Amino acid sequence: MKARQLLLAGILARAGGAPIEALAENNIMVQQTMSKAAQLPIEGEFPSLGGATGWLNSPPLTPEGLRGKVVLVQVWTYSCINWLRTLPYVRAWAEKYKDQGLVVIGVHSPEFGFEHNIDNVRWAAKDMRVAYPIALDNDYAVWRAFDNHYWPALYFIDAKGHIRHHHFGEGDYEQSERIIQQLLSEAGARDIGPELVSVDGQGAEAAADWGSLKSPENYVGYERSENFESPGGAARDQRHVYGAPAKLKLNHWALSGDWTVGKQATRLNQSNGRIVYRFHARDLHLVMGPAARGTSVRFRVLINGQPPGSAHGIDVDEQGYGAVTEQRLYQLIRQPPPIGDRQFEIEFLDPGVEAFVFTFG
């Protein structure tokens, strides 16, 4: 995504003969962005980080020790697709503004049990190039201190320790960076120009294709799952052999084979178990991992009964083959247009996989 310039002159220079109506619309957009950035009330005080169960990339940080710095706190959990799609921006802001007084802190508040494991978080941070300080929030103490309810969440804190803005979920990247620039300028930073970062998210970090997205996330464990279509329903916390209907409605799914459906995850007990899902989206992801650390589970995916070919995700080859080696989000499908209803199938060639949640983009 190319950076936008704040000044109208920049817009005019790039417009190059655009209709007057378009220029007027751009001018209004710029004025609205400036107005939003200027109106920053005090929303609260920077709460304690003392409840963190550990730190990565930094010694423990405190609100008192950060006084005089502008602080951007992001609450995240490493398998969350919504967080992954914000990461290119947060990573770029941390790098661009670090010498001008910005400190970015990632508060890792885990959603799934495997995300409590510090080795998993350490691996994920290195793999995803998260080099800024990370507060491990396994007890959700920092989550509660911010009265937070979302992944991801951004909190913008000025040099005096006041929370001046927040944002939940994806998007509003231009406004967020303008607010960072404003708070840095208020703190006395010099040479804060109007330019914005330019990012190009790759793989799972790429922005969703919102225009074609008609499938919401859906959990595979029984606690929050919807639209499960295997005959007889789920046998909770019990080993059971399931069958899948030949045809599924949109956003419905089914199991085939010997599975145990648990509260958070569903585990395969014997090889050649399948999950079938009918979806409508450019991307399909599945959060999963081997039940036993250090093992690998081979799989193959099909789309409408065929190998994915050019529709394969980054964790799958053109014939649909891949392997589950870590507990994380796997991108299985990224299909070219046109986007329509598709039937996805993943068959695990080995036992011992745990599947947690489907997400789309």
Q: Which residue type occupies 351? A: P
Confidence (pLDDT) at 8: 24
Nearest Cα residue to 107 out of 41, 157, 175: 157
Each residue of 218-261: pLDDT tens digit? 999 999 999 999 999 999 999 999 999 999 999 999 999 999 99
On whether the CB atoms of residues 283 and 289 are closer than 8 A, the answer is no
Above 60 in pLDDT, residue 22? no
Kindly indicate the confidence band of residue 191, based on its pLDDT and cuts at 50, 70 and 90: confident
Each residue of 319-342: pLDDT tens digit? 999 999 999 999 999 999 999 999
200-216 average pLDDT score? 97
Confidence (pLDDT) at 39: 85
Confidence (pLDDT) at 42: 96
Above 60 in pLDDT, residue 5? no
Each residue of 255-280: pLDDT tens digit? 999 999 999 999 999 999 999 999 99
> How many Å is the Cα radius of gyration of the chain?
23
Confidence (pLDDT) at 4: 24
**Cα 78 to the chain's mean position, in Å?**
7
What's the Cα-to-Cα distance from 275 to each of 57, 172, 190, 220, 347, rounded to whole Å? 38, 35, 55, 10, 7
Distance (Å, whole) CA 70 – CA 299: 46
Above 60 in pLDDT, residue 2? no
The C-alpha torsion from 51 through 56 and 61 to 67, rounded to 10°, is -130
Each residue of 93-150: pLDDT tens digit? 999 999 999 999 999 999 999 999 999 999 999 999 999 999 999 999 999 999 999 9
On whether the CB atoms of residues 265 and 240 are closer than 8 A, the answer is no
Average pLDDT, the chain: 91
Distance (Å, whole) CA 67 – CA 46: 10
SS (H, E, C) the chain: CCCCCCCHHHHHHHHCCCCHHHHHHHHHHHHHHHHHHHCCCCCEECCCCCCCCEEECCCCCCCCCCCCCEEEEEEECCCCHHHHHHHHHHHHHHHHHHHHCEEEEEEECCCCHHHHCHHHHHHHHHHCCCCCCEEECCCCHHHHHCCCCCCCEEEEECCCCEEEEEEECCCCHHHHHHHHHHHHHHCCCCCCCCCCCCCCCCHHHCCCCHHHCCCCCEECCCCCCCCECCCCCCCECCEEEECCCCCCCCCCEEEEEEEEECCCCEEECCCCEEEEEEECCCEEEEEEEECCCCCCEEEEEEECCECCHHHECCCCCCCCEEEECCCEEEEEEECCCCCCCEEEEEEECCCCEEEEEEEEC
